Structure 1
């Protein structure tokens, strides 16, 4: 299966269903600002879940409008083939998108949303596909998809949530990912993602084709 290097699934449901109560807010594109004000104080930190959502929507809006600069490189390392795209604004790194496949049946897209060179939100989608009936001339497939969301507040991982669903090529009634609630996880571990993030940051000036990260 080909790796989808677009920002897949990022425009679906952003929040997750919490076991504990959290207030949900929505933000108008017309009211977005890059530096928040609280009282009479200007702050440049991500200090709450609402700040995470606001900054995410701002960056998503800029990406949709193609107002961020970008650079990229491809790599091939053992069985992994990947593409990395860096999005920046006025020299400040804002988003890293890392798309890769490790074999013909597995692919993943990691999206790191960044402020002050640290992720404040990570969205990771993994897809495993297999044949699901049909004929040799017209095979049918099934995509098993897992999504993971990580929220960072004041530089620390505050909570994470995930969702799972399957898409069948033969079905006319596949679930809509945006209608599936993401559920908060009790066991958040971003160790591997943080290791990958550091490797991506070390290679942010690379372009073209390289070997391993």
Structure 2
């Protein structure tokens, strides 16, 4: 009898884990910066120096990522209860972006790092914490609490940090349209922890296949 009760829970966990894995492609990110400039990329040797220039540079690169026009290599890793995947995107041999996905049973995160001339200029981070939210044993309902961060970087310093928080419920008929939710300035505009992760990812850029914990 206990096995029958646990079966729906196992199904939900498996379904959510699959959803997390699928999201690693969807969160490159198709989510826009809302006020992205339609102008083209800066000159090859110029690095973006303002928020508007960062948005323009990001828009061009993100369109290339979505269209799968960049070369890529990747590896997976296992770290106790956390599983991760890292993808490196290059254009003509130059590293342009790193996508880092990691998850445990109830939490997943996708970090996207964007570079030009070897310098980091933008980070988009998307975290999801899910939990059961009512329903029945046979048909449980879930709730996703999502937090997004956008960090604009010039000369290794964050010049603007924005965040967006919202909740998605499986039982809701009208979940929020995320494009309509405004970004707000972060209370602490810093990316020191993400910088540490970024440096570890750079050191492991030649890894392939499946490896042990890197973080």
TM-score of the superposed pair, with normalisation by structure 2 = 0.85
Cα offsets for 1:74-123 (capped at 9, x unmatched)? 0001221100000000110001000001x311110000011122220000
In structure 2, runs of 5+ residues without a counterpart are: 1-15
Higher percent of residues as helix? 2
Q: Secondary structure at the match of 1:196?
A: helix
Distance apart, 1:7 and its partner CA = 3.7
Higher percent of residues as strand? 1
Distance apart, 1:186 and its partner CA = 3.1
Distance in 2 of aligned mates of 1:92 and 1:211 = 26
Q: Secondary structure at the match of 1:46?
A: coil
In structure 1, runs of 5+ residues without a counterpart are: 16-23, 37-42
List, as ranges, runs of 4+ consecutive aligned residues in structure 1 with deviation greater than 4 Å. Answer: none
In the alignment, is the contact (CA less than 8 A) between 1:34 and 1:58 conserved in 2? no
Partner residue in 1 for 2:93: 91
Distance in 2 of aligned mates of 1:90 and 1:206 = 19
Q: Point out which structure has higher relative CO (alpha carbons under 8 A, 6+ apart).
A: 1
Partner residue in 1 for 2:24: 5
Distance apart, 1:34 and its partner CA = 4.8
Q: CA RMSD in A?
A: 1.6
Q: Paired residues, what number?
A: 195
TM-score of the superposed pair, with normalisation by structure 1 = 0.86
